[in-house]
Structure 1
Amino acid sequence: MGAQSLAVACGALALCLALAGATDPGFVVRITQAGLDYAHQQGITILEKELAQLKLPDISGDFRIRHVGKVHYGISSMDLRSFHLPHSRISLVPNVGLQVAISNAFAEVDGNWRVKIHFIRDRGSFDLKVENIYIKINLKLGSDASGKPTIDTSDCSTRISKVRVHFSGKFGWLYNLFHDAVESRFRKILENKVCTNVVSSVHSELQPYLQTLPVTAQIDAMAGIDYSLVAPPTATAQALDAYLKGEFFSLAHRSAVPFPPLPLAFPPDHDRMVYFAASSYFFNTAGFAYHAAGALVFEITDSMIPKDIEFHLTTSTFSAFVPQLEKMYPDMPMKLRLSTLSAPFLSIGPGGLSLKPVVDVQAYAILPNSTLAPLFLLTLTGNVSAVIDIKSSHIVGSLNVGRMKLSLKHSDVGTFQVRTLQSIMNILASSILLPRLNARLEQGFPLPLLDRIQLSNVLVRFHQNFLLLGADVQYQPRGWR
């Protein structure tokens, strides 16, 4: 093998290892150009206020005038009355980050001046107008060790093409001799000050705000969601993508998920400001986490049956379907315990979201001494579909149960026709189990949003292996009601 062939082989091996070690996200956030434009609008407003508070140093110097001699001047008490950024845009720089370009900005400054020529002294005030200010800012995106996004200024440049100063005073011919020197020095000072302020604002304002993105979100006493970045945000020609772990976990004991996330074929949608792609992996880790936490066990007793249902959960009721109950456990209350041997597995396709849970239903008779006597064990399978929406920045949903199928897994009271219990199980599932599940799903799961962001104009679409949520955003400043 030649050196060139060896290099190619090593390169191919390195690529394979890199791909093998890559982590597919369970959740993707995409910010479109419309979303960046909105964020840019909010940021420019803040930057404009920051630049208007620039502190400008005093200026002093000497120069010589032919036939007059040395002239000493000083500029002090400079006050930046305004700084306007009327024209700006934000652009995506693929594989790098973002670029903000500001053009035709202008500012106004006033202050005091003094001049000394031999024994002649004069002083007064001045107005200075700065026009055609051009600012270019390059922003580099990354992530820290905790999986939170980071942003830094990789480059900043400022160019000022016009500075006009007007001095008030008696010696107009004299001021005209040194205004060029003042304008030149002021231009250099302001160009440096602007970029220094931009870098400071990115570190003090923008970076802390990005850190408000939740890395973990606690849902309840049993589970949370890991929203940490699995890679730095990626800029393409059309959008900014953030790849998140998107994994539910048990708060009591976090264990490795026994299945990997699937690749997401993100569609080229750009009508909304932001899109969220929640993969089937994201939802299935929820089932895994709650199953591991023991939360997918439900017990049904007679007291839970709605009063408008005309039967009781007793051996007398079930003896019509299981004749041996009347003889073995006459007129005793019953309890049903529903559990799953494994976490339910959900699938997502263009037609929607569905799952086919397999549930064990263990029936007990409650004896007079409160102990439980096992009666029979049923296996219940069914088709369940889900309706998904966004409410108050949470993914919410509700379940609909289709046809269910019962089979007898074990009996302690002899054989009986299982199909005769179908109607009772349908009633119990629709009137007790489903409302409880839907009440929990109505509370929803929080989306990974920066502080003070509200969503509107929401759309929901289903794709192969993931749910796509689109929305426009609105930033609510502090104190907003």
Structure 2
Amino acid sequence: MGMQSVAVACGALTLCLALTTATNPGFVVRITQAGLDYAQEQAIASLEKKLAQLKLPDISGDSRVLRVGKVHYELSRLRLRDFHLPYSRITPISNKGLQVSISNAFAELDGDWRVKFLFIRDHGSFDLRVENIYIKILLRLGSDTSGKPTISTPDCSAHISKVRVLFSGKLGWLYNLFHSVIERRLRKILEDKVCDKVAMSVYNELQTYIRTLPVTARIDDKIGIDYSLVAPPRATAQSLDADLKGEFYSLGHRSPVPFSPLPLAFPSDHERMVYFGASSYFFNTAGIAYHEAGALVFEITEAMIPKDVEFKLNTSVFSAFIPQLEEKYPNMPMKFRASTPTAPFLTVGEGGISFQPIVDVQAYAILPNSSLAPLFLLSLTGNVSAVINVRSGRIVGSLDVGRIRLSLKDSAVGTFQVRMMQSLINILTSSTLLPRLNARLDEGFPLPLLDRIQLSNILVRFHQNFLLLGADVRFQPRR
């Protein structure tokens, strides 16, 4: 094989590897046009205040006036009284970013003037109204090495089509003779200042704000969620999409996930301002993380059984099914330790979230000296379904367990028919284990939200391979 052929083969292999290692997101955030419009309203209100604080420089120069000659003028203490941006629109532009268009803006200023020509000096005040201001801003979205979003303004243009200035004072009429010269200078200064202020606001405020999107969210002292961007946010004709890693991990030891997220066939819903797509990968990494952290181990003692359940967790009760217990460990309290030999694997489909976990339940007798004597090891499995909702910016849920199937894996007290204790295991599961799991799920897991964003009008839908959450948003200003 020639060198050229080797190069072609290596290139093809590199391309194939690049394609096969492309990272699909485990979690997707979509901001619809309605969401962009709301964000724009908040940003424009802030920009309006910033533009009203523009500091304008003093202006001076010479101008020749017919039948008067050369006139030296000075404009000082220029003050912006207000700056209004009544009409604006934000538009996602594919492969570029977001374009903000502002039209028919206007501003009002006042200031002082001073004039000198021949041997005459005078001064006074003036009012200025700037109308038909058109501003176009391109916002480019990206991500840094930590996976946080970035934003910049590669392009900003401002055009003022109308400036009206009215001078007062004894020689105000003189200024009005060469107002066009002054208006041109004021127009140029304002156009430059507007874009400077836009760039500064984007860098100092908008950039700072969007970086409040959490890259990681700590769940407890064992588990975290990775919400870092796997690619820069991308604009489409109808929305802005952000692809996040969407991966739970153990804080003690983070090991690679043994499978990859599948592509999400995100629907074109637009009823809500924002949508979250949580893939089956997202939920399954939760199972792996909790399993690796040793958090899926539960002990059941009699003290945990609700008082309204007429059930004693001791060898006397179980000796009805295992006669050997009464002989070896008469009337002794018992303890169960439930654990998962492998991480549970969930499936997400149009019918919801379901899985069939395998739980090992080791039974012990608690001896008079408080040591534990192993009795038997059961394997439990059954159909489990999950109900999902959103509350206070967190994904919350609860589990419902169907019929539990038992099998005996090991026994230190001889063989016995496990089906005889089916009802007792059901009581233990429904009264102790399930409530503990549901209490944890009710605490929820945080969604990737910017600071001071509140969700309302929640929508929950299940699709093949992912859960779709929709919501409207409201920005809560600081008090």
Q: What TM-score does the superposition give when structure 2 sets the normalisation length?
A: 0.97
CA distance in 2, matches of 1:453, 1:277: 18
Q: Is the 8 A contact 2:458 2:469 kept in 1?
A: yes
Q: Which residue of 2 aligns with 1:213?
A: 213
Q: Which residue of 2 aligns with 1:99?
A: 99
Residue 172 of structure 1: CA displacement?
A: 4.8
CA distance in 2, matches of 1:173, 1:160: 25
User: Which range moved further: 371-380 or 44-53?
Assistant: 371-380
Q: Is the 8 A contact 2:302 2:313 kept in 1?
A: yes
In percent, how many aligned pairs have the same letter?
A: 75
Alignment of 1:160-309 (within 5 A): 160-309=160-309
Q: Which residue of 2 aligns with 1:400?
A: 400
Alignment of 1:71-82 (within 5 A): 71-82=71-82
3-state DSSP class of the match of 1:449? coil
CA distance in 2, matches of 1:474, 1:432: 39
Alignment of 1:426-441 (within 5 A): 426-441=426-441
Residue 369 of structure 1: CA displacement?
A: 1.6
CA distance in 2, matches of 1:354, 1:11: 43
- After superposition, the C-alpha distances for 1:373-397 in whole angstroms (9 at most, x for unaligned) are 1111111110100100001100000
Equivalent pairs counted in the alignment come to 479
Residue 237 of structure 1: CA displacement?
A: 0.7
CA distance in 1, matches of 2:474, 2:360: 46
User: Which range moved further: 50-59 or 255-264?
Assistant: 255-264
Q: Which residue of 1 aligns with 2:39?
A: 39
Give, as a single letter, the amino acid of the residue that structure 2 aligns with 1:95.
N
Residue 253 of structure 1: CA displacement?
A: 1.2
Q: 1:366 to 1:6 in 2, by over 3 A?
A: closer
3-state DSSP class of the match of 2:170? coil
CA distance in 2, matches of 1:165, 1:197: 23
Give, as a single letter, the amino acid of the residue that structure 1 aligns with 2:42.
Q
- After superposition, the C-alpha distances for 1:343-367 in whole angstroms (9 at most, x for unaligned) are 1111100000011000111111111
CA distance in 2, matches of 1:40, 1:9: 50
Residue 308 of structure 1: CA displacement?
A: 1.6
User: Which range moved further: 59-68 or 104-113?
Assistant: 59-68
Q: 1:392 to 1:121 in 2, by over 3 A?
A: same
3-state DSSP class of the match of 1:158? strand
3-state DSSP class of the match of 1:35? helix
User: Which range moved further: 308-317 or 423-432?
Assistant: 308-317
Structure 2: any 5+ residue segments left out of the alignment? Answer: none
Q: Which residue of 2 aligns with 1:337?
A: 337
1:374 aligns with 2:374: yes
Q: Which residue of 1 aligns with 2:388?
A: 388
Give, as a single letter, the amino acid of the residue that structure 2 aligns with 1:199.
A
3-state DSSP class of the match of 2:178? helix
Give, as a single letter, the amino acid of the residue that structure 1 aligns with 2:103.
S
Give, as a single letter, the amino acid of the residue that structure 2 aligns with 1:341.
P
CA distance in 2, matches of 1:146, 1:138: 24
Dislocated runs of 4+, deviation >4 Å: 4-15
Give, as a single letter, the amino acid of the residue that structure 2 aligns with 1:371.
S
CA distance in 1, matches of 2:302, 2:170: 101
Residue 260 of structure 1: CA displacement?
A: 1.2
Q: 1:31 to 1:5 in 2, by over 3 A?
A: farther
CA distance in 2, matches of 1:18, 1:97: 25
Q: Which residue of 2 aligns with 1:419?
A: 419
Give, as a single letter, the amino acid of the residue that structure 1 aligns with 2:144.
D
Q: 1:185 to 1:13 in 2, by over 3 A?
A: farther
Alignment of 1:439-450 (within 5 A): 439-450=439-450
Residue 255 of structure 1: CA displacement?
A: 1.2
Q: Is the 8 A contact 2:54 2:80 kept in 1?
A: yes
Q: Which residue of 2 aligns with 1:23?
A: 23
CA distance in 1, matches of 2:314, 2:391: 40
Q: Is the 8 A contact 2:166 2:176 kept in 1?
A: no
Structure 1: any 5+ residue segments left out of the alignment? Answer: none
CA distance in 2, matches of 1:57, 1:264: 54
Q: Which residue of 2 aligns with 1:461?
A: 461
Q: Which residue of 2 aligns with 1:361?
A: 361
User: Which range moved further: 207-216 or 250-259?
Assistant: 250-259
Give, as a single letter, the amino acid of the residue that structure 2 aligns with 1:191.
E
Give, as a single letter, the amino acid of the residue that structure 2 aligns with 1:459.
L
- After superposition, the C-alpha distances for 1:258-315 in whole angstroms (9 at most, x for unaligned) are 1211111101111100000011111111111111111111111112111222221111
- After superposition, the C-alpha distances for 1:9-45 in whole angstroms (9 at most, x for unaligned) are 8886565333223111111100000000000000000
CA distance in 2, matches of 1:7, 1:194: 53
CA distance in 2, matches of 1:310, 1:351: 36
Give, as a single letter, the amino acid of the residue that structure 1 aligns with 2:474.
Q
CA distance in 2, matches of 1:9, 1:151: 39
Q: What TM-score does the superposition give when structure 1 sets the normalisation length?
A: 0.97
CA distance in 1, matches of 2:74, 2:26: 63
Q: 1:160 to 1:337 in 2, by over 3 A?
A: same
Give, as a single letter, the amino acid of the residue that structure 2 aligns with 1:271.
E
CA distance in 2, matches of 1:471, 1:189: 43
User: Which range moved further: 392-401 or 322-331?
Assistant: 322-331
Q: Which residue of 2 aligns with 1:112?
A: 112
Q: Is the 8 A contact 2:344 2:357 kept in 1?
A: yes
CA distance in 1, matches of 2:469, 2:195: 38
User: Which range moved further: 326-335 or 424-433?
Assistant: 326-335
3-state DSSP class of the match of 1:38? helix
Q: Which residue of 1 aligns with 2:348?
A: 348
Give, as a single letter, the amino acid of the residue that structure 2 aligns with 1:308.
D
Q: Is the 8 A contact 2:167 2:173 kept in 1?
A: no
Residue 67 of structure 1: CA displacement?
A: 4.2
